[in-house]
Amino acid sequence: MAKFQLLPGETLIGGGHMTYWHERYNYSGKSDSLSPRVHQVSESTKVYVTDQRVFCAHFPTGMENFNWPLEELRGYQRGTRLKFPSVTILTRDGGQFEFCCVQAKQLAQWLRQAGLPEVDIDSIVPPMTREEKVCRLPGRIAFYLLAILSLLVVFALPTSWVYDLGLKAGTEQGQRPGASVQTVQTREDIHALILANAPATVSPEGLIPCPLARLRDGEQSNRRIHYSPGRRSSRTFQGFDDYRVLPRDPNVLDRLWQLLWGGTYNSGYYLKPLEDGTYLCVYLDDCAFLFGEPEELYTGKLRSVDAPEEARMLHAMEAAGYDLDTSFILDMYRHGKVNEFADIAMRGGLWLAGVFLVSFVSVSITDRKKQPVQ
């Protein structure tokens, strides 16, 4: 343990608590591996600057970190770390001692009063040449494009399937079908179920997608978003939107387009072929097919067509040669389960977790590169 004491004829310029950042070797402890890992750590210290030296000791143990005479110091640099001011003391033999805290500005003043010059970073690390900047430009462009693409993908991910986790079986709309829920097999079953006002479901085989999509959060259809005070810069979310049906074997771009578009709209309109050769239009959460074809679909209620967009879509499918009843839809979607603000929080948390994971992997790779070669 070393305690700071002024030498004869020495004058104290300043001293105080500072956060000292340095690298520490951490051995894994395995008998078959002697390579240390390099980690950036911080510790609380007390720094004293006099007219002859710079002294630093750990606080509160008092263990000395360094005691450098001024003639062996090259100068200091000022910068930032984690948005906090930092000061790096440079020795003539290449050593660097970084302090990052609010008091770093005071440390810079003490070093300047002691006669140490502020060293320009360009005198140590020369600036990149034009050729080096050109070589790094594609990597930077790719980084920013990847960041923008990750934001688009994460904030467009359909998350309505999360609300169906742990969903119990029952007769309510959107639940797993219970034992008393009847499966629609013919057109006669449709009229019988309508008269009885009974729940129904269909099997997942042979569904034909329809070119129509609906907002997952129905409350957005009445919301107007203003981009500026002008009238032309605002728009209203539409409750329905035309949906481009993907081919049977979609390529990567088609799947990416569906992914970016599917976070807000649900493309859950399908035609179900019945045993008598007719078709029934069903509406369900398209996330049911996110992990492959499910064993069963949801419980639904037969309702009449309640929107002009649905009527136009059904008549278009009928004109395409499908024999279906254009007046009724088996609605198996649990309306109101998706909340816009909860979705934003969920996707934002997922994006932040991804950023943290990528940063952690990047730091780990950098630390491995810094390990000394054995």
| Token pair in block for residue 192 | 């019988």
One domain for residues 256 and 321: yes
Q: Which of 243, 299, 263, 245 is nearest to 160 (CA)?
A: 263
One domain for residues 73 and 168: no
Structural domain contains residue 354: no
pLDDT at position 226 is: 36
pLDDT at position 24 is: 61
State yes or no: pLDDT of 69 exceeds 80.
Answer: yes
One domain for residues 177 and 303: yes
The segment with the largest mean pLDDT, out of 85-99, 127-141, 150-164, is: 85-99
Ramachandran angles phi, psi of 355, nearest 5°: -65, -40
Q: Which of 207, 174, 171, 202 is nearest to 186 (CA)?
A: 202
One domain for residues 327 and 192: yes
The segment with the largest mean pLDDT, out of 70-84, 249-263, 337-351, is: 70-84
DSSP string, 27-62: ----TT--PPEEEEEEEEEEEEEESSEEEEEETTT-
One domain for residues 88 and 178: no
One domain for residues 118 and 167: no
CA distance 104 to 120: 17
One domain for residues 20 and 104: yes
Structural domain contains residue 362: no
pLDDT (average), residues 149-164: 70
Q: Sorting pLDDT into bands at 50, 70 and 90, what band is 52? A: very high
36-50, 181-195, 212-226, range with the lowest pLDDT: 212-226
Domain that holds residue 61: 12-123
Query: Looking at this protein, which amino acid is placed at residue 5?
Result: Q
State yes or no: pLDDT of 32 exceeds 50.
Answer: no
First-to-final CA distance of the chain: 33
pLDDT at position 50 is: 94
Structural domain contains residue 254: yes
DSSP E strands in 59-164: the ranges are 64-69, 73-81, 84-91, 96-100
| Nearest-10 Cα torsion for 257, 258, 264, 269 | 150
1-10, 116-125, 230-239, 294-303, range with the lowest pLDDT: 230-239
Which pTM was predicted? Answer: 0.51
> For position 114, which CATH number holds?
2.30.29.30
State yes or no: pLDDT of 48 exceeds 70.
Answer: yes
pLDDT at position 2 is: 64
One domain for residues 113 and 164: no
> Which of 76, 103, 123 is a domain's end point?
123
Higher-scoring residue by pLDDT: 242, 156: 156
- Quote the number of domains for the chain: 2
pLDDT at position 11 is: 92
- Each residue of 208-243: pLDDT tens digit? 888 887 777 665 544 433 333 444 433 333 455 544
Structural domain contains residue 209: yes
Structural domain contains residue 2: no
- Each residue of 312-369: pLDDT tens digit? 889 989 999 898 888 889 988 887 776 667 777 777 777 788 777 877 776 666 655 5
Structural domain contains residue 91: yes
Torsion-angle region of 150 (φ positive above 0: left; ψ -120 to 50: alpha; else: beta): alpha
State yes or no: pLDDT of 283 exceeds 60.
Answer: yes
| 279 membership: H or E segment, kind and range | strand 279-283
Higher-scoring residue by pLDDT: 287, 283: 283
One domain for residues 112 and 249: no
One domain for residues 118 and 170: no
Query: From the DSSP assignment, how many helices (H) and strands (E) are in the chain?
Result: 6, 21
SS3 content of the chain, % helix, strand, coil (to 5): 30, 30, 40
Structural domain contains residue 150: no
Whether the link from the prior residue into 247 is cis, omega within 30° of 0, is no
CA geometry: angle at 94 spanning 21 and 126, to 5°?
Answer: 100
One domain for residues 65 and 171: no
At 238, is the secondary structure helix, strand, or coil? coil
One domain for residues 180 and 66: no
Mean pLDDT of the chain: 76
pLDDT at position 351 is: 76
Pairing of strands 37-50, 12-26: antiparallel
Structural domain contains residue 17: yes
CA geometry: angle at 271 spanning 268 and 272, to 5°?
Answer: 110
